[in-house]
């Protein structure tokens, strides 16, 4: 029961798609509509929240979760068991008129079903991974069965027969496992996971079809899944446990035989220092999520907007000269109370958007587990800090990059077991995933103990591609950063050459668009660590208010190192312009913020103005501003797509007087300065 | 959709209520259903690297909305803002979805009910004058009002920034 070497699998092309499908809307399917009307009411009850809930994970995730459909049928298994004649692709490919009639008449209902189902699958997947670790825990089986049953029931109520049929088969398997008639091991977990995959595909496909897009060929996948489920059930019921329905207790006694000891489990999802009993203590926390309600994020945004305005008005009133002229103890007390309450309200409204990063980590855990099996590399996955909260949008957006990094680690970072042993490392590799706070940021680490980056090979590859000059000898850290360069990873052979780098530029871009940063630390032979640094939320920013011309701008405080009024002897001129500033030992480039941005290039005398030293991506520059006003926490607003191509500006903030101040983007500014000097050169 | 007014002039579609406003001596109008509100001219935060007609952004009760000076957009000489200068907040449909946007006009005139008989197709002026953001014209009480296609005033994709930053 150790690492299951999955036999070479052939991917069965989704062979006969629609032709067979249209041919027969099966008798079962046509019988369905009768049952529809009464049940539909029930579905509505389930589907209570009125807001059109945006599907939580739509395509991007779905396509990442299942990029390698080589989970497809194992041919040698299919051979002895001839598929029953009743199992035709057409059973799982029902034409739209038959199965989409209900959801087509009520698009909201359809979307709700999809969103709910995908939500349930998220839960199921997480529980399955736990089950993989502790197959003896029957309560997990119940936790898996229940949401599965709900999805099946909803599909049936809505008349989406293809989904219902597949779900029904998998549910059978779960039910048998629940009643102890079949034993749960890695194979069963695998199969149910695959079931979730296939159903996710099918349900997403329902969404596409509702949107008027052509259906995808999911029939073959569905058939092969159902066949496998039937095979497994048959095999287990014949040769396995003979007692028809033993009580749940015996299983727990039986289980150790199936999965003898912790270290033999093919995949260990472990939290350092967390004992199994503590893990069960965590359950209530998970249960707590069930009491949550779904709210359209636009409603949340509206609350945040209005609360922001409330704060502005509150401070306008508090500072109103007419009011401050009144000296009245009670008024002062009430005003102070009002201020506290509004501040509290703002904090709370911001917190509405915060969710634990767990959801993203679960996706990564799944990817690591699948890849580990497929590549035959036994891996321990260590997860810490999955309760770390950050903005919901961030959790959603960071999931893809994290999965990508994890995939990179497993695919290219971790060596095959024999190589590891030859190098004196334990055959089982460790990938760790952790999240923790650091100031107003969250740090997420994806760490492996694999081979590390091969500096020399990256250098060669980069030279060949012309990313660096042939004679350049950059520092190792700079070499490693090259894997994030767009040109680096496009060539097909890159993975072989560099060991890493498929689409890492995309990862970096996605993270930077979240105002975050990604770094890599690596030690040859010891492994690599991706370090992702993200702001807690995209909604609030600690800013430094500066005046540029007639406008006030907000510089993110995190990027500001210091501010100073330089002495004349510290400003150095180039071609008659103040172009450099000496700050203690180092000489930094000096530019006027207004002229970099293109906001009226006023020639400022640095010695009469203020210089703000900004550090970004390791390089520091001095920005000349008219005035440094004060520090302020601001609510970040997007300027909208209309200003998407404005560089150096990250958004807008509503300032104390209700006006908007531009939020500057230090990274963009530093890049612009660098490009500017390159153009001049 | 892309060939200006020719070929897609639908008189019936254009019938309805319009808010008319003045730019210089000319009268323009936008469908009332597109208008969210009318506010007095207020402090506008300038955004760099955009065309001159984009005056910047304002705070509309917690929402940041871009503001365009229609005078400059249509090539009128710039005028000082007065007591009567208004920002009409409109909803425009861009390729990325509906957005609120402010347009600065000299003053707001009235709400007009435009009937089918009063609507005419925008004449072709030759290549001097861009007409693709005019849906048609209405002749009401002997006066010509230009019916604006707001979705096109800002260009098809709604991006108003210039491609490259001004040379620093």
Q: Residue A215: give its domain's CATH number.
A: 1.20.120.160
Task: Give the domain-ending residue among A477, A507, A535.
Answer: A535
Asked if pLDDT for residue A584 goes beyond 70, the answer is yes
Whether A338 maps to a domain, the answer reads: yes
Are the CB atoms for A251 and A178 separated by under 8 Å? no
Q: A646 vs B166: CB contact, 8 Å cut-off?
A: no
Distances from the Cα of B77 to the Cα of A169, A500, B23, B53, B80, angstroms: 73, 58, 10, 11, 10
Minimal CA separation from B38 to chain A, in Å: 18
Minimal CA separation from A602 to chain B, in Å: 11
- Residue recorded with tokens 């306008």: A316
Whether A281 maps to a domain, the answer reads: no
Task: Give the domain-ending residue among A352, A382, A415.
Answer: A352
Minimal CA separation from A590 to chain B, in Å: 13
Q: B94 vs A649: CB contact, 8 Å cut-off?
A: no
> How far is A563 from A550, CA to CA, in rounded Å?
20
Whether A290 maps to a domain, the answer reads: no
For A410, residues 6+ apart whose C-beta sits below 8 A from its C-beta are A367, A368, A371, A372, A375, A377, A379, A431, A448
Which chain B residues are Cβ-neighbours of A648 within 8 angstroms?
Answer: 48, 165
Q: B161 vs A308: CB contact, 8 Å cut-off?
A: no
Domains held by chain A: number: 4
Q: Which residue has the higher pLDDT, A39 or A573?
A: A573
> How far is A373 from A10, CA to CA, in rounded Å?
16
Asked if pLDDT for residue A239 goes beyond 90, the answer is no
H or E element in which residue B98 lies: strand B97-105
Mean pLDDT score of chain A: 73
* Of the candidate ranges A73-87, A436-450, A456-470, A572-586, the one whose mean pLDDT is the lowest: A73-87
**Given pLDDT bands bounded at 50, 70 and 90, which one contains residue A253?**
very low
Task: Give the domain-ending residue among A535, A550, A578.
Answer: A535
For B112-152, the DSSP string reads EEE-GGGEEPPPP--TTS--TTEEEEEEETTEEEEEE-HHH
Distances from the Cα of A537 to the Cα of A355, A390, A404, A433, A580, angstroms: 10, 6, 22, 20, 35
Q: A597 vs B94: CB contact, 8 Å cut-off?
A: no
For B79-93, the DSSP string reads ----TT-EEEEEEEE
Q: Residue A379 is part of a domain; what is its CATH number?
A: 3.30.565.10
Whether A274 maps to a domain, the answer reads: no
Q: Do A447 and A546 fall within a single domain?
A: no
Q: Do A218 and A128 fall within a single domain?
A: yes
- For residue A285, the SS3 value is helix
For A19, residues 6+ apart whose C-beta sits below 8 A from its C-beta are none
Q: pLDDT (tens digit, 9 = 90+) per residue, A123-176?
A: 888 888 888 888 888 788 888 888 888 888 888 878 888 888 888 888 888 888
Half-sphere exposure of A606 (CA within 13 A, CB side): 27
Distances from the Cα of A413 to the Cα of A427, A431, A461, A490, angstroms: 14, 10, 17, 19
Are the CB atoms for A165 and A221 separated by under 8 Å? no
**Given pLDDT bands bounded at 50, 70 and 90, which one contains residue B126?**
low
Residue B120: per-residue pLDDT: 81
The alpha carbon of residue A571 and the mean position of all alpha carbons in its chain are separated, in whole angstroms, by 46
Q: B62 vs A643: CB contact, 8 Å cut-off?
A: no
Other CB atoms within a 10 A radius of the CB of residue B116 amount to 9
Q: What angle do CA A458, A462, A467 make, to 5 degrees?
A: 145
Q: Do A165 and A24 fall within a single domain?
A: yes
Asked if pLDDT for residue A229 goes beyond 80, the answer is yes
Which of A625, A546, A1, A521 lies closest to A261, judged by CA? A1
Whether A277 maps to a domain, the answer reads: no
Q: Which among B94, B99, B161 is the nearest to A646, CB-wise?
A: B161
**Given pLDDT bands bounded at 50, 70 and 90, which one contains residue B8?**
low
Are the CB atoms for A90 and A221 separated by under 8 Å? no
Give me the domains of chain B, ranges plus CATH numbers: 11-153 (2.40.50.180)
> How far is A626 from A611, CA to CA, in rounded Å?
9
Q: pLDDT (tens digit, 9 = 90+) per residue, B75-109?
A: 888 888 888 899 999 988 776 677 888 999 998 98
Minimal CA separation from B93 to chain A, in Å: 12
Q: In what order do the strands lie in the sheet with B143-148?
A: B107-114, B16-23, B26-31, B143-148, B134-140, B119-120
Percent of chain A at pLDDT exceeding 70? 74
Which chain A residues are Cβ-neighbours of B64 within 8 angstroms?
Answer: 637-640, 651-652, 654, 660
Which chain A residues are Cβ-neighbours of B165 within 8 angstroms?
Answer: 597-598, 647-648, 672
- Give the mean pLDDT of A590-609: 76
Whether A623 maps to a domain, the answer reads: yes
Q: Do A333 and A432 fall within a single domain?
A: no
- For residue A666, the SS3 value is helix
Q: Do A404 and A552 fall within a single domain?
A: no
Q: Do A413 and A531 fall within a single domain?
A: yes
**Given pLDDT bands bounded at 50, 70 and 90, which one contains residue A32?**
very low
DSSP A71: G
Domain that holds residue A376: 355-535
CB pairs under 8 A between A and B: 98
Whether A12 maps to a domain, the answer reads: no
Which of A629, A441, A410 lies closest to A518, judged by CA? A441
Asked if pLDDT for residue A644 goes beyond 80, the answer is no
Are the CB atoms for A124 and A196 separated by under 8 Å? yes
Q: Do A91 and A227 fall within a single domain?
A: yes
């Amino acid at each position: 029961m150790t690492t299951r070497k999955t036999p070479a699998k052939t991917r069965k092309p989704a062979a006969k798609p629609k032709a067979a499908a249209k041919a027969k809307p099966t008798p079962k399917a046509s019988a369905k509509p009768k049952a529809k009307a009464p049940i539909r009411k029930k579905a509505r009850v389930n589907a209570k929240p009125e807001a059109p809930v945006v599907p939580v994970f739509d395509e991007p995730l779905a396509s990442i979760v299942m990029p390698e459909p080589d989970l497809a049928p194992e041919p040698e298994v299919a051979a002895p068991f001839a598929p029953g004649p009743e199992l035709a692709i057409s059973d799982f490919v029902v034409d739209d008129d038959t199965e989409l009639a209900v959801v087509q008449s009520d698009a909201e209902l359809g979307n709700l079903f999809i969103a709910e189902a995908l939500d349930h699958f998220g839960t199921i997947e997480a529980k399955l991974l736990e089950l993989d670790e502790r197959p003896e825990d029957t309560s997990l089986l119940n936790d898996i069965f229940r949401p599965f049953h709900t999805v099946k029931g909803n599909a049936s109520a809505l008349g989406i027969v293809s989904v219902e049929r597949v779900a029904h088969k998998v549910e059978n398997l779960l039910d048998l496992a629940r009643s102890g008639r079949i034993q749960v091991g890695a194979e069963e977990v695998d199969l149910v996971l695959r079931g979730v995959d296939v159903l996710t595909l099918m349900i997403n496909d329902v969404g596409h079809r509702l949107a008027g897009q052509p259906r995808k060929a999911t029939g073959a996948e569905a058939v092969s899944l159902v066949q496998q489920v039937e095979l497994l059930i048959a095999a287990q019921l014949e040769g396995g446990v003979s007692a028809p329905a033993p009580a749940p207790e015996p299983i727990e006694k039986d289980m150790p035989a199936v999965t003898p000891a912790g270290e033999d489990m093919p995949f260990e999802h472990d939290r350092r220092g967390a004992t199994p009993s503590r893990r069960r203590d965590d359950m209530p926390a998970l249960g707590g999520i069930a009491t949550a309600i779904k709210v359209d994020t636009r409603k949340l945004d509206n609350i945040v907007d209005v609360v922001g305005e409330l704060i502005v008005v509150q401070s306008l009133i508090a500072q109103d000269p007419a009011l401050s002229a009144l000296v009245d103890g009670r008024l002062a007390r009430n005003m102070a109370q009002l201020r506290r309450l509004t501040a509290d309200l703002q904090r709370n409204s911001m917190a509405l958007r915060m969710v634990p990063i767990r959801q993203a980590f679960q996706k990564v855990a799944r990817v690591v587990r699948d890849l580990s099996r497929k590549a035959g590399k036994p891996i321990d996955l260590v997860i810490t800090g999955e309760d770390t909260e950050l903005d919901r949008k961030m959790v959603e957006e960071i999931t893809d990059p994290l999965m990508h990094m994890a995939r990179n680690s497993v695919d290219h970072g971790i060596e095959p077991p024999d190589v590891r042993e030859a190098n004196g490392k334990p055959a089982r590799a460790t990938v760790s995933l952790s999240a923790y706070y650091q100031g107003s940021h969250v740090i997420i680490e994806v760490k492996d103990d694999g081979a590390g980056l091969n500096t020399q090979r990256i250098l060669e590859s980069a030279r060949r591609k012309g990313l660096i000059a042939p004679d350049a000898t950059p520092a190792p850290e700079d070499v490693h950063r090259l894997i994030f360069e767009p040109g680096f990873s496009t060539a097909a052979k890159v993975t072989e050459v560099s060991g890493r780098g498929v689409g890492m530029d995309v990862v970096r871009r996605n993270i930077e668009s979240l105002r975050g940063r990604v770094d890599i630390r690596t030690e040859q032979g010891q492994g690599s660590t991706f370090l992702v640094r993200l702001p807690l939320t995209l909604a609030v920013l600690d800013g430094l208010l500066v005046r540029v011309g007639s406008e006030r701008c907000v510089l993110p405080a995190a990027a500001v190192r210091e501010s100073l009024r330089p002495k004349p002897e510290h400003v150095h001129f180039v071609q008659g312009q103040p172009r450099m500033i000496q700050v203690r030992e180092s000489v930094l480039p000096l530019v006027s913020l207004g002229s970099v941005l293109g906001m009226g290039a006023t020639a400022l005398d640095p010695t009469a103005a203020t210089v703000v030293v900004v550090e970004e991506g390791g390089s520091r520059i001095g920005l000349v501003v008219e005035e440094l006003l004060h520090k302020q926490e601001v609510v970040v607003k997007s300027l909208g797509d209309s200003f998407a191509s404005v560089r150096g500006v990250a958004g807008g903030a509503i300032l104390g007087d209700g006006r908007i101040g531009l939020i500057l983007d230090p990274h963009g500014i530093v890049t612009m300065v660098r490009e500017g000097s390159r153009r001049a050169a | 959709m892309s060939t200006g007014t020719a070929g897609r002039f639908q008189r019936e579609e254009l019938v309805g209520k319009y808010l008319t406003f003045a730019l210089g001596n000319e009268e323009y109008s936008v469908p009332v259903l597109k208008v969210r509100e009318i506010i007095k001219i207020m402090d506008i935060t300038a955004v760099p690297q955009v065309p001159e007609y984009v005056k910047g952004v304002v705070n509309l009760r917690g929402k940041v909305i871009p503001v365009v000076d229609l005078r400059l957009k249509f090539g009128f000489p710039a005028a000082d803002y007065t007591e009567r200068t208004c920002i009409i907040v409109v909803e425009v449909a861009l390729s990325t979805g509906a957005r609120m946007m402010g347009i600065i006009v000299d003053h707001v005139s009235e709400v007009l009910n435009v009937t089918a008989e009063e609507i005419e197709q925008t004449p072709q002026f030759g290549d001097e004058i861009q007409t693709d953001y005019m849906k048609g014209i209405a002749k009401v009480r002997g006066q010509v009002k230009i019916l604006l296609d707001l979705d096109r005033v800002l260009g098809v994709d709604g991006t108003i920034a210039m491609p490259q930053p001004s040379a620093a």
